[in-house]
Amino acid sequence: MSNGTITGAGNPGRTIDTVRAGLDRRYRAERRFRIYGLSAIVLGLLFVSILFITIIGNGYPAFQQTYVKLDIDFDPESLGIGDQRSNAALSGANYQALVRNALKVRFPDVTGRSDRRALNSLISSGASYQLRDAVLDDPTIIGTRRSVWVPADDDVDQLVKGHMDRAAAEGDRRLKDNQLAWLDQLQADGAIEKRFNTTFFTAGDSREPELAGIRGALMGSVFTLIVTLALSFPIGVATAVYLEEFAPRNRWTDLIEVNINNLAAVPSIVFGLLGLAVFINFFGLPRSAPLVGGLVLTLMTLPTIIIASRAALKSVPPSIRDAALGVGASRVQAVTHHILPLAMPGMLTGAIIGMAQALGESAPLLMIGMVAFIVDVPGGFTDPSTVLPVQIYLWADSPERGFVERTSAAIMVLLGFLIVMNALAVLLRKRFERRW
Amino acid sequence: MDTVSVENEVIMADDGIVKPVAGGRATIDRDNRETVGDVTAKNPRMRCREVSVFYGEKQAIHDVSLDVGSNEVIALIGPSGCGKSTFLRCLNRMNDTIDGCRVIGDISLDGDSIFDTKMDVVQLRAQVGMVFQKPNPFPKSIFENVAYGPRIHGLTRDKTELEAVVHTSLDRAGLLDEVKDRLGEPGTGLSGGQQQRLCIARAIAVNPEVILMDEPCSALDPIATARIEELIDELREQYAIAIVTHSMQQAARVSQRTAYFHLGDLIEIGETNQVFTNPHHQLTEDYITGRFG
């Protein structure tokens, strides 16, 4: 009964023969499909590794900073304070003079105003702040003489890190021949050293690369995200629970649903404009504050969290709901005792995606003034501050060579922040995860 | 269509309930959708009168009247989509959770209408427990599964009492011996049959008056099914039980009364014995002899 039993037109022979003839093609198609998938992954990984290699390659020198050892004479006369030892007098003293004197002693044969100025410019202006802090910490060192490691200027830093070409013509170099000679002398004495750059993690922004730190932006991001999380998670979850578990299905809820989905696609800068108009101009909240930033980012994150939370609620099997209602739980009890705990991992995932989005957002924050140059590390929700992505943008825009590596280093800090947040989310999810 | 003679062997009683004359045999025509048989029970726990259910515009149940009596098992049988599960879910108002579902008619529990504003749905469900088709234990420990009902209703005063309730419930569900050493383990780790008995234990832990079972054995193997059927027979001593089943053998084994549903109509109701051996309605006979369904 082989020939012609099941065959239709143009399909003679047994079915098994037809299938066999097509098998090769089928296997080829499968192999091809697998190769497409594999190459997509390889390509993706390649780009990610290029990204990481460039960022880390550019950024790791920023974690080191060149210091110069100077013999500082804490002479009250040079400080211009005489016998005064009050805090006000000590804060206002002339520490720049101490640095200049130390250099003068170190290089006695440098005379002439312009040479002196060239010599002094090798040391960062941050050196005087460091000396001031040391004196304020322990005023008894006034009148003594000690060796102090002070930060070098960023040009020196770049030279030591090998980013400056000594062979270039003098006019094309930021450091001139005489400066190079002095530095070589210092180097020969072992008075130049690269150290771990603590300033980068403790200071706020600065115009001088060697004094600029990420701390201000980091704290700004932390405060902003706290506001965002504290507002968007409860509001988002409450909205999702209401829409999914309690709201009747009618035209109004349909309209709300469509609007929430549309809000998720609104360009973030629009939320920034809204925040500027509503929170700052109408409610009079302070500009550049993490509070306002958090509010704006809350608006931006809410749709993400609501959509993810609703999906998580939908994925809870209805049998659990029935079981709870069946033993006489009220709707609220069924939701809080059974459905919410089961949906929590999904909701947390949504929240973390929203938070990661918020952490990386800069456009809406530009509109509410978080792009300002702010030197102080913010201490609260209403202090002016900036955030990590805006700081990256600001540094990427700065001309000094020292900011190139700091930009990459800031990106590394931002990525680290993200990884910590994601790890936390995975941990939380593991804790809440239940099988059924 | 078969020629089935419509003889006047049916009389209309005063209350509008059609009662057959004894000794008749499948003599009621297929087109006749009046309920045949006695819908009343000796000791009614729940009374349903002219219950209709609508899903949106579509009417799923047409004017069904029926009693659920104390200490008896009533089996609701019928082909898929005939509305027996929908009807069962009316009895503890589980249909409230379905959007667009509307129930009209009168259902009362011990004389009080369950649609009355005074009747709280939470209280109703505490009195009318339910066991579902698929075993659905909470993803919590065995103990927590059974303790959940008594806890939310505040039935026990302290932990010892709660433990006692959990133990008796598991014992009555015939599960205690198998799980007494691992009450802290998740209920979802049990086998299908054990899970279903856990769900029964959970339902009886709140000490209901009526237990509704929606195809409780459809996901179980014959051995587990036999255990559940045994259990249903034991539970009958204390509770009124309504069970929806697709298995006619099961209906014959566990129930005292049987109600046959067809496309949203209650076609025939009566003593199980009578319905299976001597159905009055042609549709019932077709179904139980396997001609459709």
Residue type, B186: P
Measured on CA atoms in the order B216, B219, B220, B222, is the torsion positive or negative?
Answer: positive
| Closest chain B C-alpha to A429 CA, distance in angstroms | 16
Contact yes or no for A249 and B99 at CB 8 A: yes
Residues near A254 by beta carbon (within 8 Å), at least 6 away in sequence: none
Torsion of CA A145, A149, A151, A153, to 10 degrees: 70
- Using alpha carbons, select from B4, B11, B12 the residue that is nearest to residue B28: B4
- Classify A190 as helix, strand or coil: coil
Query: Which residues from chain B sit within 8 angstroms of residue A342, using beta carbons?
Result: 139
Specify the pLDDT at position A273.
Answer: 94
Beta strands in chain B (DSSP E): 10-12, 18-20, 44-55, 58-69, 73-77, 101-109, 112-113, 128-131, 210-214, 240-244, 257-262, 265-271
| Closest chain B C-alpha to A338 CA, distance in angstroms | 8
Q: How many whole angstroms separate alpha carbon A276 and alpha carbon A1?
A: 82
A189–chain B Cβ distance below 8 A for any pair: no
Contact yes or no for A326 and B126 at CB 8 A: no
Question: B118-171, pLDDT tens digit by residue?
Answer: 888 888 998 999 999 889 999 989 999 999 999 998 888 889 999 999 999 998
Specify the pLDDT at position B117.
Answer: 80
Q: What share of chain A is helix, strand, coil (3-state, %, to 5)?
A: 65, 5, 30
Q: Distance of alpha carbon A196 from its chain centroid, rounded?
A: 20
Could you say which DSSP state residue A218 is in? H
Q: Name which of B109, B125, B204 to mutate to probe chain A: the one with the most chain A Cβ atoms within 10 A of its Cβ.
A: B125
In this structure, what are the phi and psi dihedrals at residue B259, rounded to the nearest 5 degrees? -120, 130
| Closest chain A C-alpha to B137 CA, distance in angstroms | 7
B10-288: CATH class: alpha beta
Dig out the tokens for B236 from the structure: 């009958």
Domain coordinates of chain B in residue numbers? 10-288
Specify the pLDDT at position A240.
Answer: 95
| Closest chain A C-alpha to B262 CA, distance in angstroms | 26
Contact yes or no for B138 and A324 at CB 8 A: yes
| Residue B53 CB neighbour total at 10 angstroms | 23
Dig out the tokens for B112 from the structure: 């009080």
User: In this complex, how many residue pairs, one in chain A and one in chain B, have their CB atoms less than 8 Å apart?
Assistant: 72
Contact yes or no for B92 and A326 at CB 8 A: yes
Touching A: B residues 102-141, CB under 8 Å: 122-126, 129-132, 134, 136-140
Of A249, A323, A435, the CB nearest to B132: A323
A250–chain B Cβ distance below 8 A for any pair: no
Specify the pLDDT at position B82.
Answer: 86
pLDDT in tens, chain B (293 residues): 333 344 434 444 444 444 444 444 567 777 777 788 888 888 888 999 999 999 988 899 999 999 998 899 999 998 888 888 899 999 989 888 787 888 989 999 988 888 888 888 888 998 999 999 889 999 989 999 999 999 998 888 889 999 999 999 998 888 888 898 999 998 888 988 899 999 999 999 998 999 999 988 888 888 888 888 998 998 899 899 999 998 888 999 999 999 999 888 898 999 998 888 888 888 888 888 887 64
Torsion of CA A271, A274, A275, A276, to 10 degrees: 130
10-residue mean pLDDT series, chain A (436 residues):
48 79 92 97 97 93 92 87 83 89 89 90 90 89 90 91 86 88 90 91 90 93 95 96 89 92 91 94 93 95 94 92 90 92 90 91 91 89 93 92 92 92 85 66
Touching B: A residues 316-355, CB under 8 Å: 317, 319-330, 333, 337-338, 342
Specify the pLDDT at position A401.
Answer: 86
Specify the pLDDT at position A2.
Answer: 45
What does the radius of gyration of chain A's CA atoms come to, in whole angstroms?
32
Q: Name which of A243, A325, A327 to mutate to probe chain B: the one with the most chain B Cβ atoms within 10 A of its Cβ.
A: A327
Nearest Cα residue in chain A from B187: A436
Give first-to-last CA distance, chain A, whole Å.
51
B198–chain A Cβ distance below 8 A for any pair: no
> ∠ at Cα B45 (B40, B47), nearest 5°?
50
Query: Which residues from chain B sit within 8 angstroms of residue A243, using beta carbons?
Result: none
Q: How many whole angstroms separate alpha carbon B125 and alpha carbon B82?
A: 24
